[in-house]
């Protein structure tokens, strides 16, 4: 057997391309807005995580341009050595203040943030308790850690309590969960989770990648949404969604941040965030703090689409956020629905197993504060038309 035989035998993507049902790696020829251009055609974008619509905000673009003019295109090294700029430190100070934490630490990507933080905190005698629907970056961070991983049923606090009881003798316990689950759009049952954590003396880590800028009166995420900020030990966030940039961060007690800062391989051995990304994130943070009306508009659009899809008879699961899944179940029917929408000028993300459980294939739709009513009305019209044609709805 040759090492590359598995590669040569992998034909699924080529077969899908030949059949005209390959939905991935579509090259977009315009900026990340509510309307994008692909192959010279305009598409309504309902597959983006640009929740507040800030990627095209003049202040964000201007900040990125000025940063390139001052600092150049990159830092040419890791934060640990020569890659720390004054704006990295400014961003961390601002994030800590915004999140009401003692300190914050930025990484070059959100994936690295989870990978580096979890692997650094967990030693061989520690135990991680993770939701079965956690993001892949959390899963890989847990795999990389030397401790033991115990998975509990999705958002099932009774199951979490039961499993924690088995490890009451263990000193080091960490519960890791998404705040908003990226495929289903549902929110973690944080009130019960923190109560159970305190009962079993476990620390709580919340991945707020899809929550910061979206949930809470000030956009601080899941813990603010529930009024539980003082009962969550570590909050993680990404810059590739509401912050309209690239990178990630954690916010926690100063001693925790200091330990991770000096021990996380994903930070120490990786090049730092480029100046343009840092400056864009800072500008986005300014807007998140000063323009709460964007969140108001985002939730108006979210309610419109949740109610619209439900009224049409679509299964949208347990979503509570701007992530609205259209659960279809069958892989081929999901791809067929995607193809029909694409032909009509709507860009959406088809998701099949293993990203979701078998038999739960879906179209992952997500909405922005900047979507117009006309765009959303057209989306609902086309979903109704195609849904009836394919027998997804009556």
Q: What angle do CA 371, 355, 195 make, to 5 degrees?
A: 85
Token digits of residue 152: 């509990």
| Residue 182 is a catalytic residue | yes
Provide the phi-psi class of 363: left if phi over 0, else alpha when psi is between -120 and 50, else beta. beta
Residue (of 32, 34, 57) closest to 282 by Cα position: 57
CA–CA distance, 294 with 287 (Å, rounded to integer): 9
Q: At what angle do helices 373-389 and 331-343 cross, to 10 degrees?
A: 130
Spot the catalytic one: 210, 270, 361, 366.
210
Please identify which of the residues 48, 108, 137, 182 carries the catalytic annotation.
182
What are the residues facing 151 on neighbouring strands? 130
3-state DSSP of 111-160: HHHHHHHHHHHCCCCCEEEEECCCCHHHHHHHHHCCCEEEEECCCCHHHH
Long-range contacts of 75-83 (CB under 8 A, 24+ apart): 75/271, 75/272, 75/273, 75/274, 75/275, 76/271, 77/271, 77/272, 78/267, 78/268, 78/269, 78/270, 78/271, 78/272, 79/106, 79/267, 79/268, 79/272, 80/267, 80/268, 83/271, 83/272
**C-alpha distances in Å from residue 183, one per residue of 119, 175, 294, 325:** 24, 20, 23, 7
Contact yes or no for 105/257 (Cβ under 8 A)? yes
Candidate list 241, 245, 252, 361, residue with the active-site label: 241
3-class DSSP state of 249: strand
- In sequence order, which residues have a C-beta less than 8 Å from that of residue 246 and are 6 or more positions away? 108, 109, 239, 240, 273, 277
Please report, to the nearest 10 degrees, the dihedral formed by the alpha carbons of residues 192, 197, 203, 208 taken in order: -10
- Please state whether beta strands 148-152 and 173-178 pair in parallel, antiparallel, or not at all (unpaired): unpaired
Q: Return the active site residues.
A: 182, 210, 241
């Amino acid at each position: 057997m040759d090492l590359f035989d598995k590669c040569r035998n992998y034909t699924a993507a080529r077969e899908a391309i030949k059949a005209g049902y390959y939905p991935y790696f579509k090259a977009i020829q315009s900026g990340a807005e509510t309307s994008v251009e692909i192959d010279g055609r305009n598409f309504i974008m309902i597959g983006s995580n640009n929740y507040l619509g800030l990627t095209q905000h003049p202040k964000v673009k201007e900040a990125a341009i000025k940063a390139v003019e001052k600092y150049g295109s990159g830092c040419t090294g890791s934060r640990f050595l020569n890659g720390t700029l004054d704006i990295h430190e400014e961003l961390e100070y601002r994030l800590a203040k915004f999140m009401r934490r003692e300190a914050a630490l930025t990484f070059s990507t959100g994936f690295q943030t989870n990978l580096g933080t979890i692997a650094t905190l967990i030693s061989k005698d520690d135990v991680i308790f993770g939701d079965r629907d956690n993001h892949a970056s959390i899963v890989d961070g847990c795999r990389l850690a030397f401790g033991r991983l115990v998975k509990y049923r999705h958002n099932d606090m009774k199951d979490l309590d039961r499993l924690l009881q088995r490890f009451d003798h263990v000193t080091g316990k960490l519960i890791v969960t998404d705040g908003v689950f990226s495929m289903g759009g549902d929110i973690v049952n944080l009130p019960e989770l923190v109560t159970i954590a305190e009962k079993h003396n476990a620390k709580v880590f919340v991945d707020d990648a899809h929550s910061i800028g979206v949930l809470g009166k000030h956009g601080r995420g899941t813990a603010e949404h529930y009024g539980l900020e003082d009962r969550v030990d570590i909050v993680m966030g990404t810059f590739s969604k509401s912050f309209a940039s690239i990178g990630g961060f954690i916010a926690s007690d100063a001693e925790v941040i200091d330990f991770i800062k000096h021990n996380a391989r994903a930070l120490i051995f990786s090049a730092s965030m480029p100046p343009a990304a840092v400056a864009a994130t800072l500008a986005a943070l300014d807007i998140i703090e000063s323009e709460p009306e964007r969140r108001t508009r985002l939730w108006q659009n979210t309610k419109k689409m949740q109610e619209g899809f439900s009224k049409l008879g679509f299964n949208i699961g347990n979503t509570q956020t701007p992530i609205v899944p259209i659960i279809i179940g069958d892989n081929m029917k999901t791809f067929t629905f995607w193809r029909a929408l694409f032909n009509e000028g709507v860009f959406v993300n088809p998701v099949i197993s293993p990203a979701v459980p078998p038999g739960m294939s879906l179209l992952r739709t997500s909405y922005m504060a900047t979507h117009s009513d006309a765009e959303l009305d057209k989306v609902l019209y086309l979903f109704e038309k195609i849904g009836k044609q394919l027998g997804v709805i009556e």
